[in-house]
A and B are shown apart, each in its own frame.
Chain A
Amino acid sequence: MAEKTLDCLGEACPVPLVKTQKAMESMAVGDVLIVNIDHSCAMKNIPDWARSVGHAVEIEEVAEGEWNIIIQKMK
């Protein structure tokens, strides 16, 4: 089970989501991707997308206005 971190701090939509989608493509089932973001808009669209395609998602607020989105590839 591999773990990968994607630094998207300071990036506005849609860049974090597109990067996340690209990163997920190259990962195997069971792998985990951690996306660092500080844009509230990405906080909504990345989990929305990941859930809609069936991945497991968890959001952690590491600081006020800064989050880690943890996505596990499920299929």
Chain B
Amino acid sequence: MSEKKKYQFHELYLKKEWSYQTGAVLLALFSLALVIVTGKSWGVTGPLGMWGGWILSKLGIAVDTWAGFKATPVASYDIWKDLPALTNIGIVVGALLAVLLAAQFKIKKLKSIKNLWAAILGGLLMGIGARISLGCNIGAFFTALPAFSLHGWIFWISIFSGAAVGSKLLVKYFM
């Protein structure tokens, strides 16, 4: 019993999961705080294309001559001024802190070759999809639908149907 009491603080404040509703309210408030203070809204996938372009340019490929990089050339990209890039770093570290404080951190290795294929295919599809629809589940949904933009609603319906197809594929081929 004393063992339990000793770790009550740990259990309650660092470990016990919050409800989805708590998460929802806090995420909305943090996202609003971001736009109120900086004037810019939360996004996630924008920087990924720029990071990829930056790597390619370091490898000697002149991506800035591509039509896709015309509007946002890698040469003038500054990661420290890129809001989504900074929040992405924050998400990784924030999640890491949360698991460490809960004493649940553990490197979770790939379980099978199927997981590798799932990661490759899933990553590619998400990257391509996000660029074509001008955003991801955050930029084209979470900070688009509440901003009274129709594309946020369209994106929601589309991602929903994509998820239904993805679920079938996952159960059939990747489990």
Q: So, do A and B actually touch in the complex, CB under 8 Å?
A: yes
Instruction: Give the interface size bracket for B toward A.
Output: 10 to 19
- Asked if B106 contacts A18 (CB within 8 A), the reply is no
Given the complex, which residues of A lie within 8 Å of B104, measured CB to CB?
40, 64-65
- Asked if A64 contacts B175 (CB within 8 A), the reply is no
Instruction: Confirm or deny: A51 has a beta carbon within 8 angstroms of a beta carbon on chain B.
Output: no
Give the number of chain A interface residues (Cβ < 8 Å): 15
Instruction: Confirm or deny: A3 has a beta carbon within 8 angstroms of a beta carbon on chain B.
Output: no
Q: How far is it, in angstroms, between the C-alpha of A5 and the C-alpha of B106 when the chains are bound?
A: 22
Q: Which residue of B is nearest A38, CB measured?
A: B106
A positions within 8 Å CB-CB of B: 10-12, 14-15, 18-19, 38-40, 43-44, 64-66
- Asked if A40 contacts B106 (CB within 8 A), the reply is no
Main secondary structure of the interface of B (DSSP, over half): loop
Q: What's the nearest-Cβ distance from chain A to residue B35, in Å?
A: 28
Q: How far is it, in angstroms, between the C-alpha of A65 and the C-alpha of B104 when the chains are bound?
A: 4
B positions within 8 Å CB-CB of A: 17, 99, 102-106, 108-111, 167, 170-171, 175
Q: What's the nearest-Cβ distance from chain B to residue A57, in Å?
A: 15
- Asked if A10 contacts B17 (CB within 8 A), the reply is no
- Asked if B102 contacts A65 (CB within 8 A), the reply is yes
Most chain A CB inside 10 Å of its own CB: which residue of B104, B108, B170: B104
Given A10-B109, A10-B111, A11-B111: A64 in contact with B171 (beta carbons within 8 A): no
Which 4 A-B pairs have CB atoms at the shortest separation, nearest pair first? A65-B104, A64-B103, A10-B111, A10-B108
Q: Which residue of A is nearest B167, CB measured?
A: A14
Given the complex, which residues of A lie within 8 Å of B175, measured CB to CB?
15, 18-19
Given the complex, which residues of B lie within 8 Å of A15, measured CB to CB?
170, 175
Q: How far is it, in angstroms, between the C-alpha of A17 and the C-alpha of B171 when the chains are bound?
A: 11
- Asked if A18 contacts B171 (CB within 8 A), the reply is yes
Which of A14, A18, A39, A44 sits near B108, CB closer than 8 Å? A39
Q: How far is it, in angstroms, between the C-alpha of A39 and the C-alpha of B109 when the chains are bound?
A: 12
Given the complex, which residues of B lie within 8 Å of A40, measured CB to CB?
17, 99, 102, 104
